[in-house]
């Protein structure tokens, strides 16, 4: 159903590329960025999007230090305060450059407020590298045409921008009960994800996609948004062109905190990203 789209490669003109652009400022460890409301929920930029912005600044800094390590093999961040849509800055400190990998710290600030701090391992993903061991098959989904686009509105949430203009998320119909007030009771959400403007996925985009599904706890009836405390994403391969399949599930809820796990497969059936996050969750009181 997407035959009218050009199979594009990142050109720098697609919205994700513009929204993650970093402009060096000063001595080259500071970058200006402009956070795009198309990658936000309720005015709060998506955590995975912020990690992609920071990864671009890290890739620039590591490259300037002479390392050929453009890809974020690992990215882990703590979220201190949600930034607003609009101007922000990223400060990078390269911790080490090596032969196969380099490490760096990145801090996202707005004014003098630290919003996110992250640690990155950068490397170069070889698209031809064989899979030596993989113990699971990709998540099973109905075809894209059989999965409804994610509802634009969610319980208790008003969107200042329409994220579906930027990212097409088609959820497995078995897990969209939350949208009609009848959650399935399974904390396991899955769907197809692609950029609306035809931009193909790459390692940077995987940092965003690994955090783009609605919280799996929506299917348990959780209330309101689920703010991320910590998010760690491993990019395991350079994705083939085409839509991505994403599964996100919760493992344990206790003391108002949930962990969510996420896996992303490309159109060649390869696991290309995996993530874990710790988030605050507000569950309804148990019924008597």
CB of 78 or CB of 85, closer to a copy of itself:
78
Q: CA 229 → CA 44, 81, 92, distances in Å?
A: 14, 10, 21
Q: Smallest distance, Å, CB 50 to a copy of itself?
A: 14
Cβ atoms within 10 Å, residue 116: 26
- Binding part of the chain for a copy of itself, among 3-11, 27-35, 173-181, 256-264 by CB under 8 A, reads 256-264
Cα separation, 233 vs 261, whole angstroms: 10
Per the listing, tokens 């391992």 go with 121
Pattern of binders to a copy of itself over 167-206, x per CB under 8 A?
A: --------------------x-------------------
CA atoms within 13 A on the CB side of 148: 10
> Binding mask 115-154 vs a copy of itself (x if CB under 8 A, - otherwise)?
--xxxxx---xx--xxxxxxxx------------------
For a copy of itself, the closer of residues 49 and 249 by Cβ is 249
- HEC sequence for 12-32: CCCHHHHHCCCEEECCCCEEE
Residue 138 to residue 172: CA distance in whole angstroms: 14
Minimum CB–partner distance for residue 109 and a copy of itself (Å): 11
CB half-sphere exposure, 138, CA atoms < 13 A: 18
The interface with a copy of itself within residues 87-116 (CB under 8 A) comprises 95-96, 100-101, 103, 105, 114
152/257 with CB nearer a copy of itself = 257
- 116, 107 contact by CB (below 8 A): yes
Among 12, 254, 287, 288, binds a copy of itself (CB under 8 A): 254
Terminal-to-terminal C-alpha distance of the chain? 47
Which residues of the chain form contacts with a copy of itself (CB under 8 A)?
73-74, 76-78, 80-81, 95-96, 100-101, 103, 105, 114, 117-121, 125-126, 129-136, 187, 217, 220, 229-230, 232, 234, 236-237, 249-259, 271, 274, 276, 278, 283
């Amino acid at each position: 159903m997407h035959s009218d789209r050009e199979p594009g490669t990142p050109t720098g003109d697609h919205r994700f590329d513009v929204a993650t652009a970093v402009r060096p400022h000063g001595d080259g460890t500071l970058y200006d960025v402009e956070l795009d409301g198309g990658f936000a929920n309720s005015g709060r930029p998506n955590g995975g999007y912020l990690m992609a912005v920071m990864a671009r600044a890290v890739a620039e800094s590591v490259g300037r230090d002479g390392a050929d390590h453009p890809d974020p093999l690992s990215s882990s961040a703590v979220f201190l305060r949600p930034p607003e849509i609009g101007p922000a800055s990223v400060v990078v400190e390269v911790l080490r450059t090596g032969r196969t990998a380099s490490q760096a710290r990145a801090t996202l600030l707005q004014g003098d407020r630290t919003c996110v701090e992250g640690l990155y391992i950068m490397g170069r993903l070889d698209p031809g590298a064989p899979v030596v061991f993989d113990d699971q098959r990709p998540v099973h989904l109905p075809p894209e045409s059989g999965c409804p686009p994610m509802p634009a509105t969610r319980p208790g949430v008003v969107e200042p921008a329409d994220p579906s203009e930027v990212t097409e998320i088609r959820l497995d119909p078995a897990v969209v009960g939350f949208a009609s007030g009848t959650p399935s009771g399974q904390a396991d959400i899955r769907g197809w994800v692609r950029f609306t403007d035809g931009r193909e996925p790459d390692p940077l985009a995987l940092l965003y996609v690994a955090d783009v599904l609605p919280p799996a706890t929506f299917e348990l009836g959780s209330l309101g948004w689920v703010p991320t405390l910590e998010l760690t994403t491993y990019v395991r391969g350079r994705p083939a062109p085409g839509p991505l399949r994403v599964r996100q599930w919760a493992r344990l809820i206790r003391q108002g905190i949930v962990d969510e796990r996420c896996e992303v497969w490309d159109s060649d059936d390869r696991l290309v990203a995996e993530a874990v996050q710790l988030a605050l969750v507000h569950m309804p009181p148990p019924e008597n």
